[in-house]
Amino acid sequence: MAAWMKPSVDMDKLSYEIFSILETKFLFGCDDDKLGSIAGTPPETPSKPRGSSGKVRILSIDGGGASDGLFAAVSLTRLETSLRRRSGDPSVRIADFFDLASGSGPGGVLAALLFSRGPNGRPLFSAEEALAFLSENLRRISNAVSKKGIFWKRSGIFGRIFGDRTVRDALKPMLIPCHDLETGAGMMFSRADAVEMDGYDFLMKDVCAATCAGDQAVAIRSVDGLTKISAVGAGVGNPTAAAITHVLNNKQEFPRANGVEDLLVLSLGGGRGASPPSKAKLARIAADGAADMANGLRAGKTRAGKVVAAEAALTERNVEVVLFRGSKLSERTNAERLENFAGELIREEERRKWSMEPTVVIKRGSPMV
């Protein structure tokens, strides 16, 4: 997948197919009209027997505002706790159970925190540590590109956290977007590209500033100084679709991923409600199905209040999309949905221990630091 997302007939066709799949098979964020149009529609192709070749596990975090990152971090903290309990390993981290992370805006920062390599070769942050970081630095992340803000200071928050780590140093495949004013095109910071070429490798602290840039342009360069980007945020509106496109086109790292039936997707994000009291979407979970989570974030809450609101949202029951059957009020809370998804991740991890063929073959990047 090229770092610059240039439009083409083939890419447009692929994007259309993926969005069609998301709408008709996984039903991510469908509205009532779309639900009504496909209710009762049978699957076009028979599903692959469970466990036949494994599933690529994708984590996508859709950034909206800085507060959306808090809701995603709360959900991932709950998920990480469940994975530790189920696996019996207290050192487990989110990156251990996902094969690729894709995130935009604050969601990109969260992905970078969870999937960057730490000093011992393990993930840099746990989900709980990432939640604490976002909670403490919410306002500064929102203003990361101000000339008087943290991006321009060597002692800035991104610099202190990531140091000289680059995209290539990520433990696993990672996608973080921005928009490049130099080319007028979307730019995808991709570990797969960074491993292949220095001109596509950037400091992680710069990548985080770029994806959070908003409409304030940030000038950054690749590690070899040859690639210059004038970055603003909002390069990709749907990191889930970008992640699926990347996986299905990257046969070197995902040789057995041929369609959406080979994917296990957790998509966390903050949609935008039409007006206050409408609720933003917290999460969309697809694991042989789909589920919507909603949050009740209101403007004006304190930092601690927003975390409490996110945690409270996990106890709610929301409208659940049932494949080919429309929608109904879920019988499970959002926390129970995450618990169920943790079970899917554990089962896939156990399946791989006995598999003769790898589901994922990650390109070698930087050695442990």
Residues annotated catalytic, as ranges: 104
**By CB neighbour count within 10 A (0-12 exposed, 13-18 middle, 19+ buried), where does 98 fall?**
buried
Residues contacting 49, CB < 8 A, separation 6+: none
Taking the mean position of all CA atoms in its chain, how far away is CA 148?
Answer: 29
Nearest C-alpha neighbor of 14 from the set 249, 179, 185: 249
Nearest C-alpha neighbor of 179 from the set 166, 189, 169: 189
CA distance linking residue 367 with residue 369, whole number of Å:
6
**Which amino acid is located at 227 in the chain?**
T
Contact 258, 49 (CB under 8 A): no
Torsion angle of C-alpha atoms 48, 269, 318, 56, degrees rounded to 10:
20
* Mutual angle of helices 334-354 and 66-87, in 10-degree steps: 50
**Which amino acid is located at 272 in the chain?**
R
Specify the 3-state DSSP secondary structure of 186. Answer: strand
Contact 249, 258 (CB under 8 A): no
Residues contacting 41, CB < 8 A, separation 6+: 24, 324
Give me 299's structure tokens: 């403007």
Q: What are phi and psi of 168, to 5 degrees?
A: -60, -25
Kindly report the number of other CB atoms within 10 A of residue 29's CB atom: 19
CA distance linking residue 350 with residue 348, whole number of Å:
5
**Which amino acid is located at 120 in the chain?**
N
CA distance linking residue 328 with residue 326, whole number of Å:
7
Helices (H) and strands (E) in the chain, counts: 11, 11
